[in-house]
Amino acid sequence: MRGLFITFEGGEGSGKTTQIQRLKIWIEKNCEKFSLCVTREPGGTDDAEAIRGLLLTGSIQKWQPATEAMLVSASRHEHVVHVIQPALQRGHIVICDRFIDSTHIYQGFVGGISGEVLDGLDKLSCNGLVPDLTLLLDVDSNVGLARTVERGGSEGRFEAKGEAFHQKVRQGFLARAKKEPNRIIKIDAARPLDDVSRDVISIVKELLTAHGFKIKEPNR
């Protein structure tokens, strides 16, 4: 059985990392006979993490959008070839914090690189791999940014890009979800953590069941 590839997308502070951790705990408790790989982009291998360092640090205008697109695509290719595809071939569930949709929004919709060019980069970097499911955590960008400021520890460069940038990111994600309703499911991430988790788990549970993963009964 080929595994399942689930990605999380959304703006800064939308709760992706938190919800992925909660989903991981739920799967470990409730799924039978599975292996789980939780990873992120940019990153996921030592070399791809080094590219992440280049992309996320330094001054706001450090890179042209086209350079960013090539950096994330280069890191993605390493990640897909060395981590994601081998895990899927072994039947694992792979959960990734950001993937191709982030490139189409940050470098495409906001950065101005055409969808055609980015589709070409996807072909080169992903070997035809597309997520089975993408959960878009949607929240007002000011709320998301306030959450990251309160949390602290962000890597900086994108966070510093200002309100208009982050509002456009949100619009871009919403438009992309409308274009691909079968793959991308929007979740209202402005609600309390438990409400968001309930939706995430319910959607993922349905997908796991449809793909033959066994879920324990509620009382067991």
Binding site for ligand Z5A (CB under 6 A): 10, 12-18, 41-42, 56, 68, 72, 98, 102-103, 106-107, 147-148, 151, 154-155, 158, 189, 192-193, 196
Single out the residue of 153, 206, 145 nearest to residue 170, CA to CA.
145
For tokens 């992903």, name the residue: 126
Q: How far is the CB of 42 from ligand Z5A (least distance, A)?
A: 5
In the bound state, the residue with its beta carbon closest to ligand Z5A is: 15
- Omega before 42 within 30 of 0, i.e. cis: yes
Alpha helices in the chain (DSSP H): 16-30, 46-56, 65-79, 85-89, 100-102, 115-126, 141-151, 163-179, 193-210
Q: How far is the CB of 32 from ligand Z5A (least distance, A)?
A: 28
Can you read off the two tokens belonging to residue 151?
């949390």
Q: How far is the CB of 35 from ligand Z5A (least distance, A)?
A: 23
Nearer to ligand Z5A, 97 or 132 (CB): 97
Pairing of the two strands 214-215 and 31-32: antiparallel
Measure the CA–CA gap between 175 and 182, rounded to whole angstroms.
14
Nearer to ligand Z5A, 147 or 198 (CB): 147
Nearer to ligand Z5A, 103 or 213 (CB): 103
Q: How far is the CB of 39 from ligand Z5A (least distance, A)?
A: 11
Q: How far is the CB of 107 from ligand Z5A (least distance, A)?
A: 6
Nearer to ligand Z5A, 86 or 140 (CB): 140
Nearer to ligand Z5A, 18 or 86 (CB): 18
What count of Cα atoms within 13 Å lies in the side-chain half-sphere of residue 40?
11
